[in-house]
Structure 1
Amino acid sequence: MTRSAFAPLPDDAGYFGRFGGQIIPPELKRVMDEISEAYDEIRARDDFQQELAGLFADYVGRPSPIFHARRLSERLGGAQIHLKREDLNHTGAHKINHCLGEALLAKFMGKTKVIAETGAGQHGVALATACALVGIPCEIHMGQVDIEKEHPNVTKMKILGARLVPVTRGTATLKDAVDSAFEEYLKDPRNFLYAIGSVVGPHPFPKMVRDFQAIIGREAREQFQERHGRLPDQVAACVGGGSNAIGMFTAFLDDEGVRLVGVEPAGEGLDTPRHSATLTLGQPGEIHGMACYVLEDEAGNPLPVHSIASGLDYPGVGPQHSYLKEHGRVDYVTATDDECLDAFLTLSRVEGIIPALESAHAVAWAMRTAPTLGPDQHLLINLSGRGDKDADYVAARLSL
């Protein structure tokens, strides 16, 4: 693919090829267009860019480092594994990157409340943090299953002053939290901002969240070249909605020699209904105001999905990921719950780094792939978050 295939996307209507857009009622489209106009205005302002850059450096702790996992690489044999350490960010994941941008946008637009969904709780914690920083009330909707599973993050959100809304409908997980948050947002879209937690939803959110997350890949590309005098051979990240992955991939899209790999959750197996492998087994459809790949039944309703990682159990996916799949620029593969747990424990015990279960999917792929390659090959993995939130759950599941 040439640069022209990626640089202008999305188009003015928010489409990445046939994916994306604004599949929403006319009255909500007007609100989304206002957000788009405000975002385009604010991102062009030097004072905004300087304020955001200052917060990235002094509040988040950017740039996040790249760590060469030497002991893991030696144990596996084959390729060298490197980790982009987004887990070291303030709040423990990549989510703070776009949450700061969204909170500043809400302040700029004079919004009175910021609303969001969360799965694993990382987006909820990051948004509650950003809203506390700028002084805007924050309301987080979270599935009851995830509340029980991710208790440490629930506590953090409450400490930070966010109002937590438990969601018990449906499967009581991420998709249902999105529905609940969106319903609250529709009560007053003029004064509320729905701060979407990934590169999903109606335009401009897939573009806007991507732009804020693209700092991951920009840093990583420069850091890797400075240290190794070359680019990595393969770059990988986990994919649920897809924000950490698109943040990492964007800087490498035009590097034809770099293979990009998105790792979806195979859950309990692709031959069961207990997975969230949207790009692997889904089909083009519509969900939450966008066109994208969707896991759905014959009637076109989203299927219940599963992943051991609460942040990945979503039946849709970002429209840009759908576009990149169809154009063959990114290879989308899977890792099972069991592979994820093995990677979680292995990275913890070999390198002293406890990864989020979401990130452990990408680590599992690296552990599977490295032994098949030579030692001159380099794999760069986006370690999108830390596993503090998952430690009690994993310990109980594995009887540690």
Structure 2
Amino acid sequence: MMPDVSPWREPVPAAGTMGEPRGRGRFGEYGGQYAPESLVEACREVDEAFREARADPGFRGALAELLALHAGRPTPLTPARRLSQELGVRLYLKREDLTHTGSHKINNVLGQALLAARMGRRRLIAETGAGQHGVATATAAALLGLEATVFMGERDIERQALNVVRMRMLGAEVIPVTTGSRTLKDATSEAMRHWVGVTGDSHYCVGSVIGPDPYPWMVREFQRVIGDEARAQCAAELRTGVPDHVVACVGGGSNAAGTFAGFADTSARFVGVEAEGGAGAARGRPGVLHGCRSLFLQDDDGQIVEAHSIAAGLDYPGVGPEHAHLRDLGRARYVTVTDEEAVAAAVRLARTEGIVPALESAHALAWVIRAAGGGELPAGSTVLMTLSGRGDKDISTLKELV
């Protein structure tokens, strides 16, 4: 069992927290637009199109319709009754695993795909680790008549073979990335390099709250449907209307950012749960990668250190810039969970609630189990946890361990 890596601070529901970033996408000292000159104009075009689209009732209505009719929103808030009784807390699961394609990724991708079509782009480019963002991108492209090219690390292709088949069946081109660790970081690097040469007809559909401005806040805004729904559901379900704790797993951090955004002005404590081998927010240092300044795992010479996690979607050496800012503010706390704890949590949820979670989501649950058992979550506390995805994709990994 690993100790938590940062102390509690009083939550800071400061005015303007999780609003629009300052000029050039700044969240405190983080964010920005560290892009090659060849991408600056492309980023400007995305920023301009997004601002226009989010102010357009027609665009918002079209996205809401797609989220309802194609993605299956709203997702339910499920009380984990048996597990809650065992833990002595009231645990509620925001069920992003029940969306079409099986994870929260579809929320952001439908938004960006509609935006790309509005901009006249005919192709979507994406990176993927666990494969869920790739599947969502391929799905949206097929739905809207666009092409899709997905970059995926060779190692992730091997451990997420099911999702590779799904992407190809949906018509996407899946390009193996054989450099570096052959995981998510390298897939992201290759996708950005590719975008440089095709900005005229292609949109880079970034999968998390990373990248150059406007991507971190744009992705968060497309994902805040999770937090907004959960806020309304908690108001109807909980006596206080607001949970004591809001918990989500964090790789780049899009499902967590979207969930936190719905509760930014409340007293709920935010907890982001990272993989022990990919703890950018918990143990990272300021640096620049993939177009933004944030917290990244680095050696003494400032070189990026490779991340590791049994969950491919958490196998990233950093965290989105807004998460770095929330950590510095004390508004959110970031903790780590080991591979073994995550697997145990996945099995426990399956056997108490009949839900097999994605290994990414199981990290968040593992912290809830540990914190409840160790007294960090007082008896009777209410906990909202985003179950970001379902575990079908991880069966080949889990079958060797359970």
- For Structure 1 versus Structure 2, the TM-score category normalised by the shorter chain is over 0.9
* Residue 10 in structure 1 maps to residue 12 in structure 2: no
| 1:279-318 mapped onto 2 (5 Å cutoff) | 279-318=281-320
| 1:219-258 mapped onto 2 (5 Å cutoff) | 219-230=229-240, 231-256=242-267, 258=268
Q: Which residue of 2 is the match for residue 179 of structure 1?
A: 189
- Cα 1:2–1:353 change in 2 (3 A) is closer
Quote the Cα distance in structure 2 between the aligned partners of 1:47 and 1:9.
Answer: 21
Quote the Cα distance in structure 1 between the aligned partners of 2:327 and 2:99.
Answer: 29
SS at structure 1 position matched to 2:21? coil
Q: 1:110 aligns with which of 120, 125, 130?
A: 120
The TM-score with structure 1 as length reference comes to: 0.95
SS at structure 1 position matched to 2:278? coil
Aligned amino acid, residue 85 of structure 1: R
Quote the Cα distance in structure 2 between the aligned partners of 1:368 and 1:2.
Answer: 26
Q: 2:367 aligns with which of 365, 368, 377?
A: 365
Contact kept, 8 Å, 1:63 with 1:219, in 2: the verdict is yes
Contact kept, 8 Å, 2:13 with 2:331, in 1: the verdict is no
- Cα 1:5–1:43 change in 2 (3 A) is closer
Aligned amino acid, residue 288 of structure 2: E
Q: CA deviation at 1:302?
A: 1.1
Q: CA deviation at 1:26?
A: 2.9
* Residue 192 in structure 1 maps to residue 235 in structure 2: no
SS at structure 2 position matched to 1:4? coil
The C-alpha deviation readout for 1:32-58, integer Å capped at 9, x for no partner, is 011100111111111111111111111
Q: CA deviation at 1:190?
A: 2.1
SS at structure 2 position matched to 1:211? helix
Q: Which residue of 1 is the match for residue 398 of structure 2?
A: 394
Q: CA deviation at 1:5?
A: 4.1
Contact kept, 8 Å, 1:80 with 1:370, in 2: the verdict is no
Quote the Cα distance in structure 2 between the aligned partners of 1:200 and 1:374.
Answer: 34
Identity %: 49
Q: CA deviation at 1:253?
A: 1.4
The TM-score with structure 2 as length reference comes to: 0.94
Quote the Cα distance in structure 2 between the aligned partners of 1:23 and 1:297.
Answer: 21
Q: CA deviation at 1:137?
A: 0.2
Aligned amino acid, residue 318 of structure 2: G
Contact kept, 8 Å, 1:174 with 1:311, in 2: the verdict is yes
Q: Give the CA RMSD over aligned residues.
A: 1.2
* Residue 126 in structure 1 maps to residue 128 in structure 2: no
- Cα 1:165–1:199 change in 2 (3 A) is same
Contact kept, 8 Å, 2:357 with 2:389, in 1: the verdict is yes
Q: Which residue of 2 is the match for residue 23 of structure 1?
A: 34
Q: Which residue of 2 is the match for residue 205 of structure 1?
A: 215
Q: 1:341 aligns with which of 340, 343, 356?
A: 343
Count residues in correspondence.
Answer: 388
Q: Which residue of 2 is the match for residue 329 of structure 1?
A: 331
Quote the Cα distance in structure 2 between the aligned partners of 1:251 and 1:81.
Answer: 18
SS at structure 2 position matched to 1:382? strand
Q: CA deviation at 1:4?
A: 2.6
SS at structure 2 position matched to 1:53? helix
Q: CA deviation at 1:3?
A: 3.8
Q: Which residue of 1 is the match for residue 55 of structure 2?
A: 44
Long gaps (5+) in structure 1: 267-274
* Residue 154 in structure 1 maps to residue 164 in structure 2: yes
Contact kept, 8 Å, 2:13 with 2:264, in 1: the verdict is no
Q: 1:64 aligns with which of 75, 93, 109?
A: 75
The C-alpha deviation readout for 1:134-154, integer Å capped at 9, x for no partner, is 111000000011111011111
Q: 1:378 aligns with which of 372, 382, 387?
A: 382
Quote the Cα distance in structure 2 between the aligned partners of 1:282 and 1:119.
Answer: 20
Contact kept, 8 Å, 1:282 with 1:293, in 2: the verdict is yes
Quote the Cα distance in structure 1 between the aligned partners of 2:198 and 2:160.
Answer: 29
Quote the Cα distance in structure 2 between the aligned partners of 1:2 and 1:244.
Answer: 19
Quote the Cα distance in structure 1 between the aligned partners of 2:199 and 2:40.
Answer: 11
Quote the Cα distance in structure 2 between the aligned partners of 1:44 and 1:9.
Answer: 14
Contact kept, 8 Å, 1:81 with 1:370, in 2: the verdict is no
Q: CA deviation at 1:112?
A: 2.4
The C-alpha deviation readout for 1:44-74, integer Å capped at 9, x for no partner, is 1111111111111111111100111111112
The C-alpha deviation readout for 1:217-271, integer Å capped at 9, x for no partner, is 1110110110123211101000000000000001111112x111000101xxxxx
Quote the Cα distance in structure 1 between the aligned partners of 2:65 and 2:379.
Answer: 39
Quote the Cα distance in structure 1 between the aligned partners of 2:282 and 2:379.
Answer: 29
Q: CA deviation at 1:299?
A: 2.6
Q: CA deviation at 1:182?
A: 1.2
